[in-house]
Amino acid sequence: MKILVVGGGGREHTLVWKIAQSPMAPQIYAAPGNAGISELAQCLPIPAMDVDGLLAFARQKRIDLTVVGPELPLEQGIVDKFREAKLTIFGPSREAALLETSKVFAKDFMVRHQIPTADYSVFTSSDEACRYVQRHGAPVVVKTDGLAAGKGSIVAETVADAQAAIRQIMEERAFGSAGERVVVEEFMEGEEASILALVDGENYLTMISAQDHKRIYEGDRGPNTGGMGAYAPAPVITEDVMAEVEDRILRPAVCGMAREGYPFQGVLYAGLMMTKAGPRVVEFNCRFGDPETQVILPLLEHDFLELLLAVCDGTLPGRQVRWSSAAAVCVVMASAGYPGQYQRGFAIQGLGGPFAEDVMVFHAGTRMQDAQILTDGGRVLGVTAMGANVQEAVSRVYRAVERISFPGAYFRGDIAHRALAREERFSPDCVARGVGQDPRPDGRGGDSSHCSP
């Protein structure tokens, strides 16, 4: 079986790594891939955005399944084009991808289907948006309608900051035509978590919960990044919360998309805020999360390729998927200056370990030159470790990170701090003394569920 994975980051390395473990013994291609991926797959000099080039390759090689990593080719309609050419592809159509590619679409959709989310207003005029913010007050969140590489949402602490963000997006066009409309949204307070579900159009299968760390600095401060680390499962997602997320968010979203005429196929990523009033949607993404994938897939005890094919065939129902009872933690090693300006081309040392068992070094921005692996992006590596609990995974991951080096390497030292604090609070000692009690085991996802009206 021939598989093509589109993309070349840490998420795609993880996808390739997990697909390669399939008993179907797939032959894997990646476009464009990276130095780590090239150990498991043949990397092609085709950019992820070159939809026609990818289509020509898939036709010529008779690729059995194409898996799309990033959102941009989805917005370009890669899935529609492959399906027209009768090629099997994992990912949503351009219309279904609107859940991620247009914040206005996503917010209006959530209102139509009573999916809990922050109150919002949409503006096509920056003056009107600024006047609204003046009346509304701060904190408030300003969001670019279209894709903005993760930088289009600004949490403004003051009215002046919100108005400056509106002007940057709508007048200076910081994100081009993606800023023709803005969403101004109520600020939600709480802890965030990500729930990803495989969706075959009508049925979904939840994956283990995860939490990422979007801010660059420790203590979750500073500007947003693509993600500086993640861990799974997220203890904030108890079984009860998972059930609520399914009832109030996932099922209505999957059914709503099908009913509105654009059934969603692929992976639906719900970014959630656990507010006092329950889980509410911060955003939908229509692809695997990065770096959430680096902690979710290592915990999957099932043939991942078989699941991807089931999504494409519409045969998810009835599947029981097993998840490891371990915890996984991923620490991203980034170039100095990221998420701002940074340099590339530094040699990376220590990639050969030795590392403890259950440590995986996923490459994000790397390339090979003269048998040396060099840095080639803002996020360079995602180092993942598994452990019996978060504490063990954290110790293992940082021991591995300390062995790897490149000039200017930056990583956060506090990944999984919320889960660690909970583990401490809920350690057996504490429970015995009655200090705290973990109310329910974490929601580990697993059973496929049908979209019944």
- Sequential DSSP letters for 126-147: HHHHHHHHHHH-SSEEEEESS-
Least distance (Å) between residue 65 CB and ligand AMP? 29
What are the beta bridge partners of residue 66?
4, 89
Selection from ligand AMP, ligand GLY, none that 292 binds (CB < 5 to 8 A by kind) is ligand GLY
x/- contact string, 288-317, with ligand GLY (CB under 6 A)? -xx-x-------------------------
283 binds ligand AMP (CB under 6 A): yes
Residue nearest to ligand GLY (CB): 289
Q: Which does 40 bind (CB under 5 to 8 A by kind): ligand AMP, ligand GLY, none?
A: none
Output the six-digit token pair for 365.
């921005």
Alpha-carbon span 77 to 52, nearest angstrom: 11
Q: Does 75 bind ligand GLY (CB under 6 A)?
A: no
CB-CB contact of 141 with 155 (8 Å): yes
**113 HSE (CA, 13 A, CB side):** 22
Least Å from the CB of residue 227 to ligand GLY: 4
Q: Does 187 bind ligand AMP (CB under 6 A)?
A: yes
Closer CB to ligand AMP, residue 119 or residue 447? 119
Between 58 and 236, name the residue whose CB sits nearer to ligand GLY.
236
- 141 belongs to the binding site for ligand AMP (CB under 6 A): yes
Task: Write each residue from 261 to 290 as x if it is in contact with ligand GLY (CB under 6 A), else as -, in one continuous string.
Answer: ------------------------x---xx
Q: Which ranges constitute the DSSP H helices of 318-404?
A: 390-403
Complex with ligand GLY: residue 179 or 227, whichever CB lies closer: 227
Residues 193-212 that bind ligand GLY (CB under 6 A): 212
Contact between 227 and ligand GLY by CB under 6 A: the answer reads yes
Q: How many residues bind ligand GLY (CB under 6 A)?
A: 6
Nearest to 243 by CA among 33, 446, 37, 39: 446
- Supply the minimum distance, in Å, between the C-beta of residue 186 and ligand AMP: 6
Among 95, 145, 192, 423, binds ligand AMP (CB under 6 A): 192
Binding of ligand GLY at residue 442 (CB under 6 A)?
A: no
By CB under 6 A, residue 152 contacts ligand GLY: no
User: In a 10 Å sphere around its CB, with 0-12 CB exposed, 13-18 middle and 19+ buried, how is residue 344 labelled?
Assistant: middle
Counting contacts by CB under 6 A, is residue 179 touching ligand AMP?
A: no
**CB 203, min distance to ligand GLY, A:** 23
Residues in a beta bridge with 211: 231
CB of 271 to ligand GLY, least distance (A): 7
Q: What's the min distance (Å) between Cβ of 9 and ligand GLY?
A: 10
d(CA 205, CA 447): 6
Nearest residue (CB) to ligand AMP, 161 versus 186? 186
Query: Does residue 163 belong to the site contacting ligand AMP (CB under 6 A)?
Result: no
* Token code pair at residue 80: 């529609």
Closest Cα partner for 236 from 205, 268, 195, 267?
195
Nearest distance, CB of residue 221 and ligand GLY, angstroms: 17
Tell me how far apart the alpha carbons of residues 318 and 327 are, in angstroms, rounded to a whole number. 26
The answer to the question of residue 214 lying near ligand AMP (CB under 6 A) is yes
Instruction: Decide which of ligand AMP, ligand GLY, none touches 185; Cβ closer than 5 to 8 Å per partner kind.
Output: ligand AMP
What is the closest distance, in whole angstroms, from the C-beta atom of residue 23 to ligand AMP in the complex?
36
Is 185 among the residues that bind ligand AMP (CB under 6 A)?
yes
CB of 289 to ligand AMP, least distance (A): 11
Contacts of 290 (CB under 8 A, 6+ apart): 9, 10, 11, 69, 226, 227, 364
| Single-letter residue type at 79 | V
Sign (positive/negative) of CA torsion 49, 55, 56, 60? positive
Task: Estimate the crossing angle of helix 103-112 against helix 251-259, to 10 degrees.
Answer: 100
**CA distance linking residue 419 with residue 48, whole number of Å:** 35
Q: Does 12 bind ligand GLY (CB under 6 A)?
A: no
Q: Which position among 49, 155, 174, 430 is part of the footprint of ligand AMP (CB under 6 A)?
A: 155
Please name every residue paired with 281 in a beta bridge, in sequence order, or none if there are none.
Answer: 117, 272
Q: Which residues contact 306 (CB under 8 A, 6 or more apart)?
A: 22, 24
R_g of the chain computed on alpha carbons: 21
Owner of token pair 């709508």? 170
DSSP 8-class letter at 179: G
Question: Which residues here bind ligand GLY, judged by CB under 6 A?
Answer: 212, 227, 285, 289-290, 292
Q: Which residues bind ligand AMP (CB under 6 A)?
A: 118, 141, 143, 153, 155, 185-188, 192, 214, 224, 271, 282-283
